[in-house]
Amino acid sequence: MQRNRLIVLLAVLSFFLSSATAVGISPGSANVDGVLRGGYAEAQFHVSNTDDFSTIITIRTLGAQSGWITYPGGSTITVGPKQSATIVAVVKPPADAGNGLYNVYIRAEAQPAPGESGGIGAKIAVGVEARLSITVSDHESLSVNVDHVTAKDVEESSTGTLFVGMRNDGNVRVIPTFKISILDKNGKEVKTLEADGMELMPTTVQEVPVQLPTTDLVLGPYTATVQTLIRGSKIDERSAPFNIVEVGGLRKFGELTALTASPSEAAAGSLVKVTAAFKNTGSLGLDAKFVGEVYLDSALAATLTSDELAIGAGESKEFNVFFKPEKPGTYAVRGRVIYSKRTTDDKEVIVKVSSKEESFPWSYAIAAIVVLAAIAYFYTRKGAATAVVPARIPAAKPRKKR
């Protein structure tokens, strides 16, 4: 009887385990410190679906202060098989909240999405929890940092955009101010402006966009120098390069994919072919040519320029140029492709050049002679070892008469 009960119990457990949906949440605990009364903070959690089918995950908040928590992206999401998603929890303590530490619990409950299956029978919603600890304070903390500044290339007669990556590590809202100088390729200041950025909420990371007055700038490279100010005080200064390109130029892109030399070991006075492989990775056709330099012991030995080729969108072509090294040594061939007033990154290839007297492969000839001599010696020894030597036959003894 007990054995039968055990079998039934195992069967029931197996049923429930096969019907349960697996879900995870990380980190297991998180803290937001120094949140002002009536203030704002964010915390991020990652929920994961370890099953082989899509899962619906519902987020709930447990605890006396659960009303402080909202989810801007929604509290119900569908997560694909073996995938994860990010949940942003926004914390807003009321204005009359007391100073101190408060704990709430973020619970993620999962069940299979409609039409999905991963086991037998009805599905069971399973859940996991993470603790969120909130420290409320009436002390203001101002801490803002700039992570990076970037500027995108701009087509002629268009307005450019600058992006400032910022982190508000404090507990108060701030609006940054930017003082920007635009310099041409010679370092001459051609534009200045001052602009306010977007509001940064506490504990958030933002890419703050700033419009650049570039409509009347001529083609060429420029640099934007950006000062970031918070409440009138400068907290950061850095620069970002960008280019003004021809109309349609932002759809013209190319890549120097390979640079080779043939032969890679040559004799002085012989021709060496340099091949540059280029791919048009943009969506418009373009004209391109290869230019390069040849160096011997860091001294310029020759310059290389190919014919200009028309290359369609998505096409690849090769540029072939030649040079004749006059002296022995190690040559470095360095080059790039110029297209639509742009240049690719440089690539380099090495060519080793021997003197003319050493152009005949003496090393190979000597090696061949040594091999032939060894073969001849081997067969000579083998013939001597197998030679037949006549054996001496002893004379028969005369038989005695009886």
The domain limits of the chain are 22-137, 144-245, 251-356
With CA atoms as reference, report the closest residue to 29 among 95, 89, 110. 89
Q: What is the pLDDT of residues 203-217, one digit of tens each?
A: 999 999 999 999 999
The DSSP code for 251 is: G
- pLDDT on residue 368: 67
Banded pLDDT at 379 (limits 50, 70, 90): low
- pLDDT on residue 313: 86
Residue 353 has pLDDT above 50, yes or no: yes
- Let me know if 156 is exposed, middle or buried by CB neighbors in 10 A (0-12, 13-18, 19+): middle
- Across 79-93, 147-161, 364-378, least confident range: 364-378
Two tokens, residue 348:
């380099």
Helix/strand/coil percent split, the chain, to 5: 15, 50, 35
Q: Which CATH number fits domain 144-245: 3.50.50.60, 2.60.40.10, 1.10.8.10, 1.10.1040.10?
A: 2.60.40.10
Around 115, how many Cα atoms within 13 Å sit in the side-chain half-sphere?
1
Residue 161 has pLDDT above 70, yes or no: yes
Residues 6+ apart with CB under 8 A from 130: 25, 26, 27, 28, 29, 30, 45, 105, 106, 108
Q: How far is CA 54 from CA 22, 26, 50, 135, in A?
A: 11, 19, 9, 36
- pLDDT on residue 388: 47
**How many Å apart are CA 347 and CA 367, to the nearest integer?**
37
- pLDDT on residue 72: 92
User: Which of 20-34, 107-121, 138-152 has the largest mean confidence?
Assistant: 138-152
- pLDDT on residue 42: 95
Banded pLDDT at 355 (limits 50, 70, 90): confident
- Tokens 């690719």 -> residue: 344
- pLDDT on residue 392: 53
Rounded average pLDDT over 140-167 = 93
Q: What is the pLDDT of residues 303-320, one digit of tens each?
A: 999 999 999 888 999 999
What type of residue sits at position 357?
Answer: E
Q: How far is CA 377 from CA 76, 314, 363, 368, 387, in A?
A: 87, 62, 21, 14, 16
Rounded average pLDDT over 183-210 = 95
- pLDDT on residue 43: 96
Q: What is the pLDDT of residues 236-271, one digit of tens each?
A: 999 999 999 888 888 888 999 999 999 999 999 999
Cβ atoms of 48 and 84 closer than 8 Å:
yes
Residues 6+ apart with CB under 8 A from 67: none
Rounded average pLDDT over 168-177 = 95
Banded pLDDT at 218 (limits 50, 70, 90): very high
Banded pLDDT at 382 (limits 50, 70, 90): low
Asked if 22-137 and 144-245 have one fold, the answer is yes
Q: Which H or E run includes 9?
A: helix 2-19
The DSSP code for 361 is: -
**How many Å apart are CA 138 and CA 136, to the nearest integer?**
7
Residue 389 has pLDDT above 50, yes or no: no
Two tokens, residue 334:
């360095």
Per CATH, the homologous superfamily of domain 22-137 is: Immunoglobulins (2.60.40.10)
DSSP string, 62-98: ESTTGGGEE-TT-SEEEE-TT-EEEEEEEE---TTPP
CATH topology of domain 251-356: Immunoglobulin-like (2.60.40)
More confident residue, 253 or 178: 178
Cβ atoms of 121 and 19 closer than 8 Å:
yes
- pLDDT on residue 13: 44
Rounded average pLDDT over 149-163 = 91
**How many Å apart are CA 38 and CA 60, to the nearest integer?**
22
What type of residue sits at position 373?
Answer: A
Residue 138 has pLDDT above 50, yes or no: yes
Residue 17 has pLDDT above 70, yes or no: no
Q: What is the pLDDT of residues 80-101, one digit of tens each?
A: 999 999 999 999 999 999 999 9
With CA atoms as reference, report the closest residue to 337 among 329, 327, 347. 347
Cβ atoms of 157 and 193 closer than 8 Å:
no
Residue 399 has pLDDT above 80, yes or no: no
Sign (positive or negative) of CA dihedral 265, 326, 330, 358: positive
Around 170, how many Cα atoms within 13 Å sit in the side-chain half-sphere?
15
With CA atoms as reference, report the closest residue to 165 among 226, 223, 123. 226
In the predicted model, what is the mean pLDDT of the chain? 86
- pLDDT on residue 1: 54
**How many Å apart are CA 391 and CA 369, to the nearest integer?**
40
